[in-house]
Structure 1
Amino acid sequence: MNTIHVIGLGAGDLDQLPFGVYKKLKQATDLYVRTADHPVLAELAEEGLAYTSFDVVYEKHDHFEPVYAEIAATLIGLAERQDVIYAVPGHPLVAEQTVQNLIEAEKNGECQLSIEGGQSFLDAIFGALRIDPIEGFQLLDGTSMHSDQVNMVQHVLIAQVYDSFSASEVKLTLMEKYPEEYPVTIVTAAGSRDEVLRTVPLYELDRAAEVNNLTTIYVPPATERLDRVKEWQTFRSIVAQLRSPEGCPWDREQTHESLRPFLLEEAHELLQAIEDQDDEAIAEELGDVLLQVFLHAQIGQDNGYFQLEDVLAAVSSKMIRRHPHVFGDVEVGGSDEVVANWQSIKAEEKPATESILDGQERYSSSLTTSYNYQKKAAKVGFTWADADGAWEKLQEELKEFQEEAAKGSSERQLDELGDLLFTLVNIARFYELSPEQAMAGANRKFRERFAHVEQRVKEGTGNFSDYSLEQLDQFWNEAKKMARKGD
């Protein structure tokens, strides 16, 4: 099997090219290069060096992946007849996808490689920017980067920024996390005689300077906390500091138990924002719910029982296990089958219980607990055939409550009221209505209408005692009419 000899052209001009690499390039009879746009090749061309570039392949495709795939396939085809010398910018193993494609092909027995290093552009970049990589750095591909890959506390280098379009894509991705005024540096031809560094605000990145295949974007570490508030680790450190000995006395005192009412309150406020279809409020309330999650995770870590990573591992593993049609090879015909699979997998994971009602209690809502109990019981046949039976039961429970309300003790009255409410929940189940949602809607409606009553009183004497129930009820009916017109 013939060999593909991959040579790195380095990051700068001919003066930086190792003499051994220079000799091999000069001796090559059939030299192929990924791109002719490199200072070393321009100088060698003046010395009479001939080569074949793959620049024409870039013009055939709209994306880089098929470009790199075609170049690798062409080289493998050429190697079937003879040894091939292939030169790439920089070091062959640093930010060079065509070489990675060849390495994968070699693993599959499709070719044989010999890789000879050239100077990586990283060395020149570190020197130009005067940064020490031991502090931590990231090297990202500007053609495929995502904001969740960016570590804001490290030096971030972004390669493969060829033109204004790719620079614009990089800018938009970075602006998902960094402030628009954040300083970034455009480094071009680092380490060569043509080296240029220009620092600009992030929002000017795509129009600040001409970029080419020798351009790297540098984003310095965000040392100020307010510059990295979109970083998950920043939020985690804030919560940890609140719980630390130097933090907030109130936050240090909290326990899983003491935080329960706050989690319930924040969840209800989120539900209200969703009901109002207020996107800005939804984002804010989601943050408040997230704070509760991070506080509980920090308490677990402080107590030595679990930490945030354990929470993430548990929920991530669960999502992968229970979505085999997404993360496995299971096929489903629709959402009903998805739910059935979920319940089946869940049943396999959960230990057997003594009662089918185990685990159905909801601390936050007796209505939801009642609904869950009756739904589970109905699944094993403990229910009426249709809603008519539930309606008859409602009349029976209403009569019993009325009797106890007239002459019974408070204990009996409370007991019969519970039976009445329980039956109402059962009726809701037959019509697939959420009693919790219905009650929340009724509360909201009452508040809105009573606000009108209050406003009418304020416009009058300002004192409720000056109005009869009939007058107040008239204000209430006004609110009802206004609501109907709004609908």
Structure 2
Amino acid sequence: MTGDKFNELINIMRRLRKECPWDKEQTHDSIKGATLEETYELLEAIDTKNYEEMKSELGDLLLHILFHSVIAEEQKKFNIDDVIDTIKEKLIRRHPHIFGEVKVKNPNEVAKNWEEIKMQEGRNSVIEGVPKNLPGLARAYRLQEKASKVGFDWNNKKDVWEKVIEEIDEMKSMEDSDDKSKLEQEVGDLFFALTNYARFLGINPENAIRLSNEKFIKRFNYIEKRLKENGKSITETTLTEMDKYWEESKKALSS
């Protein structure tokens, strides 16, 4: 049943490429931004535990996988069967503890084997393959995570926190400098160190900042709502009044 539905969907995409004026004009480059947008919409659905929305967004993401595959098929580069074969072979190859004779004791050994197999596949570096277009915090987290899997890591959480304090001090010492480039580097080093500390806490910093952004939006919207109820706009009030509603929002939105 699933195979029939999948074939029907890929055939719909092929027909759209032939008959729809908009779809037939698209290229990998023209839709790549939308592919990324759909990924973030899926993340938002996951954050909010909205399973109806998650189902829809997974469908949208699947559409883009098929879209890119059909474009490549037309260019005689590869097709959806090649995509499926590639990921199937990769999953089997990188899980020798499931499909082979390798024995593992815990998830850490699985992750270490995964990285070793990648190197055997022709990678030049353990940290190769982390996309440059990832958001900065997400990329820092993945780089640190990959290095950690081969033993390049701090021994304990306390040392990581001391590194954060060290980076704060270095940033503060550069604050009055005219060299904005060096200050920028110090700010980046602080973010990198905080990302490392978050990793030791078992927190993905990209998820954390996304949740904080949403919390800020809700609280700021609350300020605007309360001001509007009192016949004011955000541009006609004082910081003191905004702070009052900000503190009020913490209680109102936590219930």
List runs of 5+ in structure 2 lacking aligned partners.
Answer: none
**Cα displacement string for residues 13-49 of structure 1 (whole angstroms, at most 9, x for unaligned residues):** xxxxxxxxxxxxxxxxxxxxxxxxxxxxxxxxxxxxx
Q: Is the 8 A contact 2:130 2:142 kept in 1?
A: yes
2:30 corresponds to: 258
**Cα displacement string for residues 119-164 of structure 1 (whole angstroms, at most 9, x for unaligned residues):** xxxxxxxxxxxxxxxxxxxxxxxxxxxx336x5xxxxxxxxxxxxx
Structure-1 separation of matches of 2:253 and 2:144: 34
What letter corresponds to residue 148 of structure 1 in structure 2? Answer: T
CA RMSD of aligned residues (A): 2.8
Q: Is the 8 A contact 2:144 2:196 kept in 1?
A: yes
Within 5 A, what are the aligned runs for 1:371-386?
Answer: 371-386=141-156
Structure-1 separation of matches of 2:251 and 2:108: 45
**Aligned with 2:225: secondary structure?**
helix
Match of 1:286 among 45, 58, 61: 58
Structure-2 separation of matches of 1:331 and 1:343: 12
1:343 corresponds to: 114
**Cα displacement string for residues 264-306 of structure 1 (whole angstroms, at most 9, x for unaligned residues):** 2211111111222212111111111111111111121122101
2:197 corresponds to: 427
1:297 corresponds to: 69
2:2 corresponds to: 148
What letter corresponds to residue 213 of structure 2 in structure 1? Answer: N
Structure-1 separation of matches of 2:90 and 2:82: 12
> 1:274 and 2:43 equivalent?
no
Match of 2:92 among 316, 320, 327: 320
Match of 2:225 among 451, 455, 475: 455
Q: Residue 399 and residue 340 in structure 1: after superposition, are their counterparts in 2 closer, same or farther (change >3 A)?
A: closer
**Cα displacement string for residues 354-398 of structure 1 (whole angstroms, at most 9, x for unaligned residues):** x33222345222212212222333445544322222222222322
Structure-2 separation of matches of 1:456 and 1:389: 45
Length, aligned pairs only: 255
For residue 341 of structure 1, report the CA deviation from its aligned partner.
8.2
**Aligned with 1:305: secondary structure?**
coil
2:180 corresponds to: 410
Within 5 A, what are the aligned runs for 1:385-404?
Answer: 385-404=155-174
Q: Residue 467 and residue 323 in structure 1: after superposition, are their counterparts in 2 closer, same or farther (change >3 A)?
A: same
For residue 474 of structure 1, report the CA deviation from its aligned partner.
1.4
Within 5 A, what are the aligned runs for 1:42-441?
Answer: 147-148=1-2, 151=4, 231-244=5-18, 246-249=19-22, 251-323=23-95, 328=99, 330=101, 336=107, 339=110, 343=114, 346-347=117-118, 350-353=121-124, 355-441=125-211
Q: Which has the larger radius of gyration?
A: 1
What letter corresponds to residue 366 of structure 1 in structure 2? Answer: G
What letter corresponds to residue 79 of structure 2 in structure 1? Answer: Q
Structure-1 separation of matches of 2:168 and 2:104: 45
Q: Is the 8 A contact 2:119 2:126 kept in 1?
A: no
Q: Is the 8 A contact 2:13 2:70 kept in 1?
A: yes
Q: Residue 302 and residue 292 in structure 1: after superposition, are their counterparts in 2 closer, same or farther (change >3 A)?
A: same
1:212 corresponds to: none
What letter corresponds to residue 20 of structure 2 in structure 1? Answer: G
Q: Residue 248 and residue 334 in structure 1: after superposition, are their counterparts in 2 closer, same or farther (change >3 A)?
A: farther
TM-score normalised by structure 2 residue count: 0.86
Q: Is the 8 A contact 2:94 2:117 kept in 1?
A: yes
Q: Residue 256 and residue 460 in structure 1: after superposition, are their counterparts in 2 closer, same or farther (change >3 A)?
A: same
**Aligned with 1:311: secondary structure?**
helix
2:246 corresponds to: 476
What letter corresponds to residue 312 of structure 1 in structure 2? Answer: I
Between 424-433 and 377-386, report the one with greater CA deviation: 377-386
Higher relative contact order (CA 8 A, sep 6+): 2
Higher helix proportion:
2
What letter corresponds to residue 412 of structure 1 in structure 2? Answer: K
TM-score normalised by structure 1 residue count: 0.47
For residue 446 of structure 1, report the CA deviation from its aligned partner.
1.2
For residue 238 of structure 1, report the CA deviation from its aligned partner.
2.7
**Aligned with 1:406: secondary structure?**
coil
Structure-2 separation of matches of 1:470 and 1:373: 42
What letter corresponds to residue 14 of structure 2 in structure 1? Answer: A
For residue 308 of structure 1, report the CA deviation from its aligned partner.
0.8
Q: Is the 8 A contact 2:138 2:205 kept in 1?
A: yes
Structure-2 separation of matches of 1:340 and 1:412: 36
**Aligned with 2:69: secondary structure?**
helix
1:135 corresponds to: none
